[in-house]
Chain A
């Protein structure tokens, strides 16, 4: 299984732990990721101009050499998917291609790494690699951009693929009503109060559910829920202490990979209690 790989900016910055776990897990699962040469930023949620945003993704998609494009980031994934839809408009496509050196025909297929593992590899294959079933409860948190407005592999309102992945690893996905609620990450700079309030809603419900960790699929969610967790605790005078774990880290733990190789020592919310519980 080989994919063109579009890591996105975070993998080379704040989400180094995500990158470490992706590398550790994917190679062991036989999923080959060939990083796209000279890729650019997808624009995240910060480029307002539609044609610019579409062009940014189109440039990346044009360089995929006919392979499906895998990305670990919900924002990148959402932008690539939306670009493909937008480029069905032939006027826009002509305009965008006018600006590109390598033209894009609109035929590349973006996939989130979660989809690659759950659907392309398949949970039946994954379960063969599980050496240490995890005896923990986990919140399946998909974030706002993975399943909406729509993707081809899960329900927009009540997705289940991450739940199934968690069960496959021996852990118990808890009932969680905010699976696809916004974490507040994208507005952290512009409206910190609201951003922290949104994060608080998610964290409190996760805490109430009795889970040992929250599983995320997006570096932005991770940043918000992990790095800003202390700020949430201070602002609302509550104690959360909820480890935020990338789904690739969770897979790695179940495969028996050492926590340090998965970057689990790089989190701001300590993960040691969680790791020892998961390893029992």
Chain B
């Protein structure tokens, strides 16, 4: 299309990935069928190695090629690496694309016949080559960043992130609770050193409070997110405290006067140091208002809404314990049956018993049991599959505390596996054994509350091969740690995918542990999975560094695949269609504000005269790719957006098999599609077409149904199946199930049609899948 005079020399580089790809895909035969006049093909053991990259670079420098198609692992892993390499060699980074033949081929089709996998990969590469010869070089747009960060969550991870950042960048820290400290302020002694939690945390909380670079809001949550990475406008909801934090001097006069016990300081070390009112108890007598020497109490305070402007967000919303009442045989809640969090709180700064361990009748327990894995490591579908990681160590710490408070008291730990890996933890395990704590390897079958307040624990001791039953004064359940309530809503608003365990998905499990798939959103602490204080702090420091690196650039690069307005009759349909107000009518013509545009492409099918195209995803470019992809063998074409693409990647990593008839075409959003492209797919031999999107952006997802209905109507003449589905990143199993069902339906339908055609007349197309 563009730049037609100069022939384009495309270099195709296929990666063996040390057998990960080449054991399944016959790369040599792919080479033979793909190479041509302007197309050279080269196979490397590891393309990502310096040798592999050097080969591409030298081919460019020798003038052999000027465009690159790579067949390798997911672009999520190495696209940036390859693109900066070709940029160094003088080629526009856009003119390098990766075809994913590992996560989307060799890892998920290795149980199928080699021919069908080869056929798929051949199609994908040919499609990619056709696409590469049709696209144009583009330069990313630049947008100025807002140099301010929102840290969500005031636990140890959020506190660390905020403090590490605040010397260089402005920080807004919000916390849902009326005080800082998160779960850590409710802990007693911390393993493995047994230093007191509040003693090490309080100075940090005070530092947050006093830091000039940090604005702190408690009782505050994110209500809405608008804008784009680097330039967010975030709406905050502040619940009323009824006491002005700035005016309150914690004199306590109000508490002494209150007849209802409704006004209180949450605990002595509370930061911010200010009283608050529990309105469910308050009878609005006004005694506190009158007595307060600082005029700090306002019984009519209302929920407030404010809006802030930030460039980056760090999510540190942490965990919550699962409610163990779903484990029916444990009979939680019952008197003297605690969760480990309740046990900790009893001995912490937040204690309501004067930091004394006691039973419901206020006496000290003689026998205490700790039951591990209450709701975690559970594959029955009732609990959570993951290991909560910290319970093995903290339960031993709690057992030590019991023995320390009363050496003749008994402490029993019921465990499945004792997982005390990590520096200083094995020693801690050993030390706990020396203290005389009793370890029983086996899962507790049931916990029966007795009339006298004791609890009977039935268990199996797998070491001795015996069943047993013991009576305890207190039983502590170590509950599964799960993402705190609201994690999904926040992640959805920020366009950050979650894993199927509900924790935030890292950009890369190992190599990008605090980045998310949104370049302006970072995460730290237990929102990324259960972990201890040490690891939360490490991640807080890392997240601060990553935020700082991101903001330090001052600019954010915006993908250049934006709409181009080729023709316009001034009807304004696109202006109405755009969910982001990126299009306006100016002088009777549509005009684009590229920085407001997200490149979703919803304007493309909206234009009645087909005057709008998305750069590098134009109708003709997509058709060229489809044609080449389906040339040799028919398949099921799946148009997929980046969020659902990430689900396919996870399916690949988990080796979830699905039909090799599936051919993905990656789009910035499925909304760029119109009937032109889908009809073309059917004409070139697609047996079925799917539209799969994973975006959590309601502005787009709410319109998908209409898009699907329109496409269904306008492609009806082909009588081939078309389907739409919403798959979030975590739902990779749903994705593969869906792909399998659809591929077999489409296949059956195609077979029926081809039999019919052969019967009636000699079909022009043959269907030899």
| Chain A residues at the B interface, C-beta cutoff of 8 Å | 155, 157-158, 177-178, 208
* Distance from A69 Cβ to chain B, minimum over Cβ atoms (Å): 29
* Distance from B90 Cβ to chain A, minimum over Cβ atoms (Å): 68
- Which residue of B has the minimal Cβ distance to A178? B448
Contact A177 B449 (CB under 8 A): yes
In the complex, per-residue mask of B284-326: 1 if CB is within 8 Å of any chain A CB, else 0: 0000000000000000000000000000000000000000000
* Distance from A22 Cβ to chain B, minimum over Cβ atoms (Å): 30
Interface: B329 (CB within 8 A)? yes
Contact B331 A208 (CB under 8 A): no
Contact B328 A155 (CB under 8 A): yes
Top 10 nearest A-B pairs by Cβ distance?
Answer: A158-B328, A208-B451, A177-B448, A157-B328, A157-B329, A177-B331, A177-B449, A155-B328, A158-B329, A178-B448
| Chain B residues at the A interface, C-beta cutoff of 8 Å | 328-329, 331, 446, 448-449, 451
Determine the chain A residues whose CB is within 8 A of the CB of B328 once the complex forms. 155, 157-158
- Which residue of A has the minimal Cβ distance to B451? A208
Instruction: Please report whether the interface of chain A is mostly helix, strand, loop or mixed according to DSSP.
Output: loop
11 contacts between A and B (CB under 8 A): A155-B328, A157-B328, A157-B329, A158-B328, A158-B329, A177-B331, A177-B446, A177-B448, A177-B449, A178-B448, A208-B451
Determine the chain B residues whose CB is within 8 A of the CB of A177 once the complex forms. 331, 446, 448-449
The complex places the Cα of A45 from the Cα of B449 at a distance, in Å, of 31
Determine the chain B residues whose CB is within 8 A of the CB of A158 once the complex forms. 328-329
* Distance from A78 Cβ to chain B, minimum over Cβ atoms (Å): 20
* Distance from A234 Cβ to chain B, minimum over Cβ atoms (Å): 23
Determine the chain B residues whose CB is within 8 A of the CB of A157 once the complex forms. 328-329
The complex places the Cα of A158 from the Cα of B447 at a distance, in Å, of 13
Determine the chain A residues whose CB is within 8 A of the CB of B446 once the complex forms. 177
* Distance from A242 Cβ to chain B, minimum over Cβ atoms (Å): 15
* Distance from A216 Cβ to chain B, minimum over Cβ atoms (Å): 20
- Which residue of B has the minimal Cβ distance to A157? B328
Given contacts A157-B328, A158-B329, A208-B451, 7 further A-B contacts (CB under 8 A): A155-B328, A157-B329, A158-B328, A177-B331, A177-B448, A177-B449, A178-B448
Determine the chain B residues whose CB is within 8 A of the CB of A208 once the complex forms. 451
- Which residue of A has the minimal Cβ distance to B327? A157
The complex places the Cα of A157 from the Cα of B331 at a distance, in Å, of 11
The complex places the Cα of A158 from the Cα of B449 at a distance, in Å, of 15
- Which residue of B has the minimal Cβ distance to A207? B451
The complex places the Cα of A157 from the Cα of B448 at a distance, in Å, of 13
Determine the chain B residues whose CB is within 8 A of the CB of A155 once the complex forms. 328
Determine the chain A residues whose CB is within 8 A of the CB of B448 once the complex forms. 177-178
The complex places the Cα of A155 from the Cα of B328 at a distance, in Å, of 10
Determine the chain B residues whose CB is within 8 A of the CB of A178 once the complex forms. 448
The complex places the Cα of A178 from the Cα of B331 at a distance, in Å, of 11
* Distance from A68 Cβ to chain B, minimum over Cβ atoms (Å): 29
The complex places the Cα of A155 from the Cα of B327 at a distance, in Å, of 12
- Which residue of A has the minimal Cβ distance to B329? A157
- Which residue of B has the minimal Cβ distance to A159? B328
* Distance from A158 Cβ to chain B, minimum over Cβ atoms (Å): 4
The complex places the Cα of A34 from the Cα of B328 at a distance, in Å, of 38
- Which residue of A has the minimal Cβ distance to B446? A177
The complex places the Cα of A177 from the Cα of B446 at a distance, in Å, of 10
The complex places the Cα of A177 from the Cα of B448 at a distance, in Å, of 6
The complex places the Cα of A208 from the Cα of B454 at a distance, in Å, of 14
* Distance from B444 Cβ to chain A, minimum over Cβ atoms (Å): 14
* Distance from B660 Cβ to chain A, minimum over Cβ atoms (Å): 34
Determine the chain A residues whose CB is within 8 A of the CB of B449 once the complex forms. 177
The complex places the Cα of A73 from the Cα of B395 at a distance, in Å, of 46
- Which residue of B has the minimal Cβ distance to A179? B328
- Which residue of A has the minimal Cβ distance to B331? A177
The complex places the Cα of A234 from the Cα of B80 at a distance, in Å, of 83
- Which residue of A has the minimal Cβ distance to B449? A177
The complex places the Cα of A177 from the Cα of B449 at a distance, in Å, of 8
* Distance from A144 Cβ to chain B, minimum over Cβ atoms (Å): 14
* Distance from B309 Cβ to chain A, minimum over Cβ atoms (Å): 52
The complex places the Cα of A157 from the Cα of B329 at a distance, in Å, of 7
The complex places the Cα of A208 from the Cα of B448 at a distance, in Å, of 13
The complex places the Cα of A208 from the Cα of B453 at a distance, in Å, of 12
- Which residue of B has the minimal Cβ distance to A210? B451
The complex places the Cα of A177 from the Cα of B337 at a distance, in Å, of 15
The complex places the Cα of A208 from the Cα of B328 at a distance, in Å, of 21
- Which residue of A has the minimal Cβ distance to B448? A177
The complex places the Cα of A178 from the Cα of B328 at a distance, in Å, of 12
The complex places the Cα of A158 from the Cα of B332 at a distance, in Å, of 13
The complex places the Cα of A178 from the Cα of B451 at a distance, in Å, of 13
* Distance from A49 Cβ to chain B, minimum over Cβ atoms (Å): 28
The complex places the Cα of A77 from the Cα of B347 at a distance, in Å, of 51
- Which residue of B has the minimal Cβ distance to A209? B451
The complex places the Cα of A171 from the Cα of B644 at a distance, in Å, of 54
* Distance from A248 Cβ to chain B, minimum over Cβ atoms (Å): 27
- Which residue of A has the minimal Cβ distance to B447? A177
- Which residue of B has the minimal Cβ distance to A177? B448
* Distance from B330 Cβ to chain A, minimum over Cβ atoms (Å): 10
- Which residue of A has the minimal Cβ distance to B452? A208
Determine the chain A residues whose CB is within 8 A of the CB of B329 once the complex forms. 157-158
* Distance from A179 Cβ to chain B, minimum over Cβ atoms (Å): 10
The complex places the Cα of A158 from the Cα of B331 at a distance, in Å, of 10
* Distance from B282 Cβ to chain A, minimum over Cβ atoms (Å): 34
- Which residue of B has the minimal Cβ distance to A180? B329
* Distance from A266 Cβ to chain B, minimum over Cβ atoms (Å): 32
Looking at A177, A178, A208, the one whose CB has the most chain B CB atoms below 10 A away is A177
* Distance from A2 Cβ to chain B, minimum over Cβ atoms (Å): 35
The complex places the Cα of A157 from the Cα of B446 at a distance, in Å, of 10
The complex places the Cα of A49 from the Cα of B486 at a distance, in Å, of 55
The complex places the Cα of A181 from the Cα of B41 at a distance, in Å, of 71
* Distance from A197 Cβ to chain B, minimum over Cβ atoms (Å): 12
* Distance from A265 Cβ to chain B, minimum over Cβ atoms (Å): 32
The complex places the Cα of A158 from the Cα of B329 at a distance, in Å, of 7
The complex places the Cα of A165 from the Cα of B322 at a distance, in Å, of 31
* Distance from B380 Cβ to chain A, minimum over Cβ atoms (Å): 11
The complex places the Cα of A196 from the Cα of B329 at a distance, in Å, of 24
* Distance from A173 Cβ to chain B, minimum over Cβ atoms (Å): 15
The complex places the Cα of A155 from the Cα of B329 at a distance, in Å, of 12
The complex places the Cα of A178 from the Cα of B446 at a distance, in Å, of 11
* Distance from B331 Cβ to chain A, minimum over Cβ atoms (Å): 6
The complex places the Cα of A95 from the Cα of B448 at a distance, in Å, of 45
